[in-house]
Structure 1
Amino acid sequence: MCSQEPECFVFAFHGPSASTRKYFCYMWKSGTLKIKNSTGITSGYNLRGCQFKKPCFDEVYEGLKFSNRPYETVQTENPDQCREKCRQDQHCSFYTYYNEGSKCELKFTMPIPTPTFQRMDEVFSGFSNNLDEDFGSGEVCPSQLYRDKQLEGGRYPIKFSAISAQHCQALCNIYPECQVFKYYRNYVKGPNCYMKSETRLISEVITEHQGVTSGRVQKGCKVDFSWKNDVVNGSLSGSAFNVTVKADLECKKACNDEPNCLFYLYVSMNHPAVKHRGKCYLKRDLTLPRPNVFPRPGTVSGFVMNC
């Protein structure tokens, strides 16, 4: 996590205390790591000097519960079967197995970056062409969108930030519980991609709604990532790990050529802030699964294996 976070210089991992019973990972932007004995704490530096590779998580954690809400709960005979169930499900990021009741909870973390998008003049942003596209199978999902319309029924409690309706649809197709979504085209800042998972509340009635593009989840096809080629007017939030002066068309290429870059921001030569003009900010975000971890006897937890 520290190596993925652009501003992290050193970290300290704390085991559970008698008061909190939680695990914590603390990160610092700068400083010197002073070595001293401290029970229950592991510290270190980031590894950004190396090309970041997808980590291999194959360890099983007995007596630990990953408390995030599951998107699916199934019965399995043992923890090994639960782990295998998670490994075979493309949505599953990590799992927790309960010995009592033989319950297996499958859990999810969005595996692609979802920085907040804010519309701004003379600022341009986009995503790297190197984003992982291994979601779904078969032919690429066709674009099926309802412009200036929305599907009626209930609230849309799941929220993300997207640069386009196609981006919002891709997030819906990746998110395991999404059934329908709506994208607010004119939002200036904040979440603009809303999803709903409760099928019983979804109506077939489609009503007019200016500024909204809606759609349904698409299954049995490969998620469309064509939106990552878009360059949009606005800013994608996140800490930059590299800042250079580039021409506008060179900034996206610089992001594509840098394996650690997930998205970028370019400030035009017409921007009112003179000191930022012509600057290209290469950025990344945390995409590793980040479960809430608690000690609990009788449980076994782990991550999907990428080994």
Structure 2
Amino acid sequence: VFTPNLDYCRIVCTYHPMCLLFTYLPATWTKDPAKRFTCFLKDSDTEILPKVGMAGAISGHSLKQCNTQIRACSMDVHTGLDMQGTNYNITTADNYQQCQKRCTNDDNCYFFTYASGAFHSADFRKKCFLKNSRTGTPTSIRLLNNVVSGFSLKPCQLSQTDCRMDIFQETTFSGIDLTSVFTPDSFVCRTICTYYPNCLFFTFLTREWEVETQRNLCFLKTSRTGVPHARVERENAMSGFSLLNCRRSFPACHSRIYMDTNFLGDELNVTYVKGHKACQQVCTDKVRCQFFTYFPLQESCNKESKCKCSLRMSSDGSPTGIVYEKGRISGYTLRLCKRKASTVVGGTDSLRGEWPWQVTLQVKLSTQRHLCGGSIISNQWILTAAHCIDNLENPNIWRVYADILKLSEINEDTPVFKVQEIIIHPQYVTAETGYDIALMKLDKPMNFTDLQHPICLPSKEETNIIYTNCWVIGWGYTKEQVVLWNVFL
């Protein structure tokens, strides 16, 4: 593949299912200019390769086994480089930042080139070229004056387009098929789609699918419009979208264990361990292992009560087949599961209008302070938690603010609502025992705008949808030990 620098070569190697090592030929490579910017991805049965002297070449290892968070994000831009691919969209832009933003918010864009106002051809000055390729990387890279190239910032969680996390049951999506792989469930299928070049949506066929040879197949799909050509109701099928547009990261790994399941693949090694967790750890520690099957049945165990652990791999990182067999336990390596701990501290800064139903509920006693969040459910009612009202049942002490991104924005001129009535669920006692819900009636109706309106709720007709993820929104610290008034929604 071609990459603009060494760091991106290593990123590509890290996310390739088989790449362990790489060699990169930089811009200064003189032996064969046509091979400049080439990134050679390499594998080895022994997990090492002999070192051969090659002046100007740079080699290194995949980061798969590192104990730090691994990200596919590349925010670098490359002046004087034209990253070539399919130019499917050409527009005028004032600067490369505008061009990169367009690429980030376009479903089909993986990289871009921007020609500045000083470009030699007047027809292409200040033009933004949105590009893609079959591999998601440039098809070649050339030196060219007065251009800037870079990648989409979708992997950096900076897309401002819709994050579609619903999985639709009994549904198939039609589109352009990219490839298909075997996966044990729709969630693994979705993760693979998220990291597979050009995959925008997928369809997964369950183990009950009518055609036996197609059971557990995950079809990765795309379209020129970014949405499925059609949605068709089919039993034992599930469909969904890539999560690349989402404003939070999802690790490129699968941590779940699958009982009574045998993952087929090329046998790397067989060892004996106590328990499927130990088997998964052995797979994680062995750099070429991609998935495993553990055999806890008596005939597969030795005198030390250690049972057979088969370490396996394939060319695409997915099982070559999935068989349901009693007593077998299967799973994947955890080597790409490293991620920062999820805490309320930090989180992701919101954009104005991103959560227009969120309000800050503040108590005014000797001073005024933020106490809880709430959600607009109608023009005069706010939904919140009952525990927020504990010992504060007097409506007169509450103040409600909408369209607030940063708490320090609030001043005496900020529009505010008072509370006329508070209704606590009659069965609420403590948060731990349930029924932790309350309503606040505003003293006057709220005018709805794009920045303040009721929460989006599914209609009663929306059934057969599995909701697997949720957003927690509110005001919290941007980092440890900062002042409360410097926090963001």
Q: TM-score range by the shorter chain?
A: 0.5 to 0.7
Aligned to 2:221: 195
Gaps of at least 5 residues in structure 1 are 112-131, 288-307
Q: What are the Cα deviations for residues 75-122 of structure 1, in whole angstroms up to 9, with x where unaligned?
A: 432223334555x659799522131351142659999xxxxxxxxxxx
Q: What are the Cα deviations for residues 205-230 of structure 1, in whole angstroms up to 9, with x where unaligned?
A: x365x6x51435499988999x8535
Aligned to 2:57: 41
> How does 1:163-174 map onto structure 2 within 5 Å?
163-169=184-190
Q: Return the index of the structure with the highest Cα Rg.
A: 2
Contact 2:280–2:292 (Cα < 8 Å) also in 1: no
**Counterpart AA for 2:77:** V
Contact 2:293–2:310 (Cα < 8 Å) also in 1: yes
Point out which structure has higher relative CO (alpha carbons under 8 A, 6+ apart): 1
> How does 1:35-114 map onto structure 2 within 5 Å?
36=53, 38=55, 40-44=56-60, 50-54=66-70, 57-69=74-86, 75-85=92-102, 89=105, 95-99=111-115, 100=124, 102-105=127-130
Question: How far 1:278 moved relative to its partner?
Answer: 1.9
**Counterpart AA for 1:42:** I
> How does 1:1-40 map onto structure 2 within 5 Å?
1=10, 11-15=22-26, 17-18=32-33, 23-27=38-42, 29=44, 30-34=48-52, 36=53, 38=55, 40=56
Contact 1:248–1:278 (Cα < 8 Å) also in 2: no
> How does 1:135-214 map onto structure 2 within 5 Å?
141-146=165-170, 150=172, 156-161=176-181, 162-169=183-190, 181-185=202-206, 186-187=212-213, 192-198=218-224, 202-203=229-230, 206=232, 208=234, 213-214=237-238
Using structure 2 for the length normalisation, give the TM-score: 0.37
**Counterpart AA for 1:195:** K
Distance change in 2, residues 1:221/1:65 (3 Å): closer
- Between the aligned partners of 1:33 and 1:274, the Cα distance in structure 2 is 41
- Between the aligned partners of 2:75 and 2:298, the Cα distance in structure 1 is 48
Contact 1:8–1:27 (Cα < 8 Å) also in 2: yes
Contact 1:255–1:261 (Cα < 8 Å) also in 2: no
Question: How far 1:235 moved relative to its partner?
Answer: 2.6
- Between the aligned partners of 1:249 and 1:197, the Cα distance in structure 2 is 40
Q: What are the Cα deviations for residues 125-157 of structure 1, in whole angstroms up to 9, with x where unaligned?
A: xxxxxxx9x7999999444211xx645x6x542
Q: 3-state SS of the aligned residue for 2:239?
A: strand
State how many pairs are aligned.
Answer: 255
Q: What are the Cα deviations for residues 46-65 of structure 1, in whole angstroms up to 9, with x where unaligned?
A: 67785344367454323434
Gaps of at least 5 residues in structure 2 are 1-9, 116-123, 137-154, 207-211, 312-331, 338-489
Q: 3-state SS of the aligned residue for 2:168?
A: coil
Using structure 1 for the length normalisation, give the TM-score: 0.52
**Counterpart AA for 1:266:** T
Question: How far 1:45 moved relative to its partner?
Answer: 5.5
**Counterpart AA for 1:80:** Q
Contact 1:139–1:222 (Cα < 8 Å) also in 2: yes
Q: 3-state SS of the aligned residue for 1:51?
A: coil
- Between the aligned partners of 2:64 and 2:195, the Cα distance in structure 1 is 28
Aligned to 1:235: 263
Aligned to 1:250: 277
Match of 1:266 among 281, 285, 293: 293
Question: How far 1:66 moved relative to its partner?
Answer: 3.4
- Between the aligned partners of 1:165 and 1:228, the Cα distance in structure 2 is 14
Contact 1:179–1:196 (Cα < 8 Å) also in 2: yes
Match of 1:278 among 308, 331, 337: 308
Q: 3-state SS of the aligned residue for 1:81?
A: helix
Distance change in 2, residues 1:201/1:167 (3 Å): closer
- Between the aligned partners of 2:80 and 2:263, the Cα distance in structure 1 is 43
